Structure 1
Amino acid sequence: MVQEYISPVRVHKYPFEMVMAAYERRFPSCPQIPVVVECVITEDSWTADNSQRLTTRRCQLNVEAPYLLKKMIGVDYIYFIQKNVLDLKTRTLDIEATNETFANRVGVVEKCRYYVHPENAQWTCFEQSATLDVKNFFGLESTVEKIAMKQYAANIAKGKELIESFMKEVNDEGVKELAPWNPKDDAANLELRRIVSRGTELPKGQSQPDQYTLDSEYIKRHLGELTPVQEARLLQLRKWIADLQKGKVPSDTTLLRFLRARDFNVEKAREMLSQSLLWRKKHQVDRLLSEYETPDVVKQYFPGGWHHHDKDGRPLYILRLGQMDVKGLLKSIGEDGLLKLTLHVCEEGLKLLEEASGASSRAVQAWSLLVDLDGLNMRHLWRPGVRALLRVIQLVEANYPETMGRVLIVRAPRVFPILWTIVSTFIDENTRSKFLFYGGKDYLQPGGLLDYIPKDLIPDFLGGPCKSFVHEGGLVPKSLYVSGAFTEREGDPLSEDSIYRSVSLGKGQVHEVIVPNRDPQSVLTWDFDVLRHDIAFTVYRTEHQLDHPPPDTTALCVGGADEAKSVLEQKGWREGEHYHRVEPTLVCHDGESIQGSHVMLECGSYILQWRCELLDSAHRAAQLMYFHETLASHHYKGSMSSLQSGTSGFSCLSGKSAASSCPSR
Structure 2
Amino acid sequence: MKASNTTTKSTLSSSSSTITASTSSIATSSSVQERWSEANIASTVQLWKFDTRQESILRQLQPLLKDIDHWKNDPHEVARYMKDFYKLSVPKMADKFRHMVEWRISERMDTFCASYYGHPPPPIFSYFPIFLLGGYDYEGDPIYMIRPGVLDAQGLLSLTSAKDILDYVKFLQEVTLTRYTPGIPKHWNWQTEHYEKTHGGKRFTQFTVIVDLQGLGRRHLRGSFFGVLQQITRIGQDYYAGVRKRILIVRAPRIFQLVWNVVKVFLDEHVHELISISTPADYHQVCDRYLDRKILPPEMGGQGRAMPGFFHEFIRMNGGMIPKDVGTKRSGPFAKGALTTSPTFDMSDDDDNNEPFTAPTTTAIAVKSLLRGHFDVSSITNEVTTVSLAGKRTRPETINYSARI
Pair in the same fold by TM > 0.5: yes
The answer as to whether partners of 1:241 and 1:249 remain within 8 angstroms in 2 is no
Q: Distance in 2 between matches of 1:382 and 1:415?
A: 14
1:413 corresponds in structure 2 to 253
Q: Distance in 2 between matches of 1:220 and 1:592?
A: 50
Task: Tell me by how many angstroms 1:335 deviates.
Answer: 1.3
Amino acid at match of 1:639: T
**Which of 208, 216, 223 is residue 368 of structure 1 equivalent to?**
208
2:295 corresponds in structure 1 to 457
Higher strand share: 1
Task: Tell me by how many angstroms 1:632 deviates.
Answer: 5.2
Amino acid at match of 1:420: W
The answer as to whether partners of 2:36 and 2:74 remain within 8 angstroms in 1 is no
**Which of 251, 255, 261 is residue 84 of structure 2 equivalent to?**
261
- Structure 1's 595 and 255: CA in aligned 2 closer, same or farther, altered over 3 A? same
Task: Tell me by how many angstroms 1:347 deviates.
Answer: 2.0
3-state SS of the aligned residue for 2:111? helix
Task: Tell me by how many angstroms 1:413 deviates.
Answer: 0.8
The answer as to whether partners of 1:213 and 1:235 remain within 8 angstroms in 2 is no
2:55 corresponds in structure 1 to 231
| Residue 398 of structure 2 is aligned to residue 639 of structure 1 | yes
Q: Distance in 2 between matches of 1:437 and 1:482?
A: 34
User: How many residues of Structure 1 are paired with residues of Structure 2 in the alignment?
Assistant: 301
Q: Distance in 1 between matches of 2:191 and 2:65?
A: 23
1:389 corresponds in structure 2 to 229
The answer as to whether partners of 1:318 and 1:370 remain within 8 angstroms in 2 is yes
| Unpaired stretches in structure 1, ≥5 consecutive residues | 1-208, 484-589, 604-625, 643-665
2:142 corresponds in structure 1 to 315
Task: Tell me by how many angstroms 1:220 deviates.
Answer: 4.0
Q: Distance in 1 between matches of 2:383 and 2:209?
A: 30
3-state SS of the aligned residue for 2:145? strand
Q: Distance in 2 between matches of 1:602 and 1:429?
A: 26
3-state SS of the aligned residue for 2:398? coil
1:148 corresponds in structure 2 to none
- 1:431-580 superposed matches below 5 A: 431-445=271-285, 448-467=286-305, 470-480=316-326
The answer as to whether partners of 2:360 and 2:380 remain within 8 angstroms in 1 is no
1:214 corresponds in structure 2 to 38
Cα deviation, 1:529-569, whole Å, max 9, x if unaligned, reads xxxxxxxxxxxxxxxxxxxxxxxxxxxxxxxxxxxxxxxxx
Q: Distance in 1 between matches of 2:46 and 2:196?
A: 9
**Which of 172, 175, 194 is residue 345 of structure 1 equivalent to?**
172
3-state SS of the aligned residue for 2:66? helix
2:108 corresponds in structure 1 to 284
1:250 corresponds in structure 2 to 73
1:380 corresponds in structure 2 to 220
**Which of 301, 304, 316 is residue 130 of structure 2 equivalent to?**
304
- 1:15-94 superposed matches below 5 A: none
The answer as to whether partners of 1:372 and 1:410 remain within 8 angstroms in 2 is yes
Q: Distance in 2 between matches of 1:281 and 1:401?
A: 17
- 1:619-634 superposed matches below 5 A: 627-629=374-376, 630-631=379-380
Report sequence identity in percent: 22
The answer as to whether partners of 2:382 and 2:398 remain within 8 angstroms in 1 is no
**Which of 182, 191, 195 is residue 356 of structure 1 equivalent to?**
195
Q: Distance in 2 between matches of 1:370 and 1:247?
A: 32
Amino acid at match of 1:251: D
3-state SS of the aligned residue for 1:464? coil
TM-score (ref. length: structure 1): 0.41
- Structure 1's 353 and 417: CA in aligned 2 closer, same or farther, altered over 3 A? farther
- Structure 1's 228 and 327: CA in aligned 2 closer, same or farther, altered over 3 A? same
The answer as to whether partners of 2:205 and 2:243 remain within 8 angstroms in 1 is yes
Q: Distance in 1 between matches of 2:351 and 2:231?
A: 22
The answer as to whether partners of 1:413 and 1:440 remain within 8 angstroms in 2 is yes
Task: Tell me by how many angstroms 1:303 deviates.
Answer: 2.1
The answer as to whether partners of 2:358 and 2:382 remain within 8 angstroms in 1 is no
**Which of 270, 274, 278 is residue 98 of structure 2 equivalent to?**
274
Cα deviation, 1:171-204, whole Å, max 9, x if unaligned, reads xxxxxxxxxxxxxxxxxxxxxxxxxxxxxxxxxx
Greater gyration radius:
1
Amino acid at match of 1:325: D
Q: Distance in 1 between matches of 2:295 and 2:207?
A: 15
Task: Tell me by how many angstroms 1:479 deviates.
Answer: 4.5
Amino acid at match of 1:406: R
Amino acid at match of 1:260: K
2:332 corresponds in structure 1 to none
Amino acid at match of 1:356: Y
The answer as to whether partners of 1:458 and 1:464 remain within 8 angstroms in 2 is yes
Q: Distance in 1 between matches of 2:299 and 2:382?
A: 36
Task: Tell me by how many angstroms 1:314 deviates.
Answer: 1.5
The answer as to whether partners of 1:418 and 1:640 remain within 8 angstroms in 2 is no
2:152 corresponds in structure 1 to 325
Higher helix share: 2
3-state SS of the aligned residue for 1:286? coil
- Structure 1's 595 and 278: CA in aligned 2 closer, same or farther, altered over 3 A? farther
Task: Tell me by how many angstroms 1:437 deviates.
Answer: 2.2
The answer as to whether partners of 2:124 and 2:322 remain within 8 angstroms in 1 is yes
- Structure 1's 457 and 211: CA in aligned 2 closer, same or farther, altered over 3 A? closer
Q: Distance in 1 between matches of 2:278 and 2:38?
A: 42
Higher relative contact order (CA 8 A, sep 6+): 2
Task: Tell me by how many angstroms 1:357 deviates.
Answer: 5.3
3-state SS of the aligned residue for 1:402? coil
Amino acid at match of 2:154: K
**Which of 251, 265, 271 is residue 425 of structure 1 equivalent to?**
265
- 1:573-592 superposed matches below 5 A: none
Task: Tell me by how many angstroms 1:367 deviates.
Answer: 1.4
- Structure 1's 426 and 398: CA in aligned 2 closer, same or farther, altered over 3 A? same
Task: Tell me by how many angstroms 1:363 deviates.
Answer: 5.4
Amino acid at match of 2:375: H
3-state SS of the aligned residue for 2:73? coil
Q: Distance in 2 between matches of 1:640 and 1:371?
A: 17
The answer as to whether partners of 1:238 and 1:249 remain within 8 angstroms in 2 is no
Task: Tell me by how many angstroms 1:480 deviates.
Answer: 4.7
3-state SS of the aligned residue for 1:229? helix
1:13 corresponds in structure 2 to none
